[in-house]
Chains A and B, each alone.
Chain A
Amino acid sequence: MMVLQADSTVFDAIARYTCLALREAEICLPGDVLSRIEAAAASETNPVARGELGNILANVARARELSVPICQDTGVPVIYLTIPPSLPFTRQVYDAVRAGVREATSTIPLRPNVVTPLDRNNSGDNTGEGMPAIHARPGDRLTITVLPKGAGAENVSRVKMLLPSERGRIAEFVVETMCIAEGRPCPPVVLGVGIGGTFDGAAALAKEALLLPVDCMDPFEQEICDAVNALGIGPMGLGGGTTALAVKVKTADCHTASLPVAVNVQCWACRRATVEVPL
């Protein structure tokens, strides 16, 4: 197996492709998400809800046409890497991703959203301690997936440690999360649900579930999605049949005495993009 020389070319490429992925995610809504919004607009009978979905579709088209971000809350950068055997996984990989985020912030441009948690000092470039949030795992190729995460929907996300005997109440917890959130997360939302693992692992699974395509759901996901839509919250909390575009579930094995469940709420602007870095 050939191991790449850890020269600056590789890291420059990682920075450049991180920036490209962010540009794609911020400006172009993924096709599967757009299709779900279009389908909702076609089937929605509430005139206010139809109007809101029409505005969203018009906005998505304008953003693409003008090459500007879909929403002014351009989020915080959440980044997933797959690292091939040929690339030494060092601190320099992290530094390259951070350089890409800084480049994206100044060139797209993105709103600088990252602050220190207590003093609220803004770094101005969307990087800081633990930011971007980088998750890496081994893979065959070097890929960079970005998930810019806005605050409105993140702020209404929840984790709960259910009892193993409460397996039947997972759907209730997810629906309750939207009942409490109302219009605040800018519905129609995508709900990422993490079941199992550990306290923190369930939350990570819930976020990863937001990377799954929204154009198909299994019967469990569909049942929860239908229940959320039966709440009638509708686009922006103004009422209607479209509160969730999709519910996506990811699971991991857990302790026999635990049942962690997390719901990561995502606004209609379910922004994500994946690029492969040629090596």
Chain B
Amino acid sequence: MTCVDLSTPLGDEVLWLRAGDRVTLSGMVYTARDEAHLRMQEQGIPFEPYGAAVYHCGPIIEGDRVVAAGPTTSARMNSLSDFLIRRGVRALIGKGGMSRHVAEQLRGKGVYLAFTGGCAALAASRMQLRGVYFEDLGMAEAVWEISLDHLPLVVGIDARGGDIFDDVRRDARRRFVEMFRRKQ
């Protein structure tokens, strides 16, 4: 079982990761949900995108402290992520996986990393707040610049099109049909 310690800025090392690998990520991440993606498409990316990691997360921030910062459902960003990948973002982080379309966009360029849903307190304990962009979008939708210390993640989609969520989905459907076919 591979367990790689990654740090930003990310480079070609992400291309060697495989769906199902466990990794940790240190360095800088930028939170972004639906509204932040739309704003960045209109006004540009406020951070250096080359080698960056974007975290699908609407954190609870109190003063200069990250209180809770679990992942949100990444699928909402399926149609909003292409421009980030084309500008050099190497990792998208969230929960639940992304579409085949995004998997194709990531091919040869970057990876999708899954963080455990609901683990808001664990995430916050590995984070330090560094800055904020688009604060007018509100706490949940702003782009927060956060320094990470070894956040434990799983490679959900790799840079060769491997997709652990898709594999699990297809297996589950096959098993369901096998289990109940006799009764249909």
Contact = CB atoms under 8 A, between A and B. Distances in A.
Contacts of A234: 168
A57 B176 CA distance: 29
Contact of A186 (B117, B125, B156): B117
B17 to A, nearest CB: 13
A59 B173 contact: no
B47 interface: no
Interface in B53-83: 58-60, 67-70, 73
Nearest to B164: A238
B122 A72 contact: no
Contacts of B156: 238
Contacts of A176: 176, 180
A58 interface: yes
Q: On chain A, which size bracket covers the interface?
A: 35 or more
Interface residues of B, number: 41
Contacts of B73: 152, 184
Contacts of B175: 230-232
A232 B183 contact: no
B116 A52 contact: yes
A159 B22 CA distance: 37
Nearest to B178: A230
Interface in B144-184: 152, 154, 156, 164-165, 167-169, 171-173, 175-176, 179-180, 183
Interface string B106-144: 000000001111111110110000000000000000000
B90 interface: no
Given A68-B67, A232-B168, A237-B165, A152 B117 contact: yes
B88 to A, nearest CB: 27
A178 B121 CA distance: 27
Contacts of B116: 52, 55-56, 59, 235-236
Interface of A: 47-48, 51-52, 55-56, 58-59, 62-63, 66, 68-73, 111, 152, 168-169, 172, 175-176, 179, 182-184, 186, 227, 230-239, 267-269
